[in-house]
Structure 1
Amino acid sequence: MELLLESVALYSLKLAYETEGHSPILRDDPLMGGCDREVFGLLVRRGDVAGIQGEIGRCLDLALGAVGGVDTVLGRELYRLALAFSAAQMMTQLDKPLTVLRDYLRDIR
């Protein structure tokens, strides 16, 4: 789960901040801040669904801004997927929406 969370955060930040011709954003980039595997691991071990949703939500907000907001085709779809993720109430409900988010972010970046 931690790797999946980190991947969603990384793809979101790549979409928001990575520019053509510059060094790519990597997992150990300072830009990742608190969105690394150890932080997510702690949240997962605690079963802190709200904490996980908060951290990922910050990253998704940046990605949403990068695609032009909810008034764009990409933004509407990202927003819809983010809503499905934020609707989860238990740890077991996070896997599917996270996987869909990761795949979507990877495809549009």
Structure 2
Amino acid sequence: MGDSWTRVCAAGELLPDEYRVVDVDGVLIAVYNVGGQYYAIEDVCTHDGGELASGDRNGFVLTCPRHGAQFDLRTGEALCAPAYSPTACFPVKVEQGAVWTRDDRW
């Protein structure tokens, strides 16, 4: 964790409106391409701990597939009940032709 970056995929493999989930030291991180910009959040709904990434996305708003909580991909902010706490956001970079992310919380 910390300074260690994890390769998500080749930059050309994550097209606009697509996402990938990667395991970063036991933390599942969902990386999204929204209009050519990359955003990464923890793949966990803070309402019940369920996975989040497969939910519907409208712009920057991701809806949990289980109970409908919504999160902002840019900030992780919980936008509506039943979630009240944000999910974690992570840095993303494009370097050496690949998309990278890391868990920088520690």
Assess same fold via TM > 0.5: no
Task: Specify which structure has the bigger relative contact order, considering alpha-carbon pairs within 8 angstroms and separated by 6 or more residues.
Answer: 1
| TM-score, length of structure 2 as denominator length | 0.28
Q: TM-score, normalised by structure 1?
A: 0.28
Report which of the two has the higher share of helix.
1
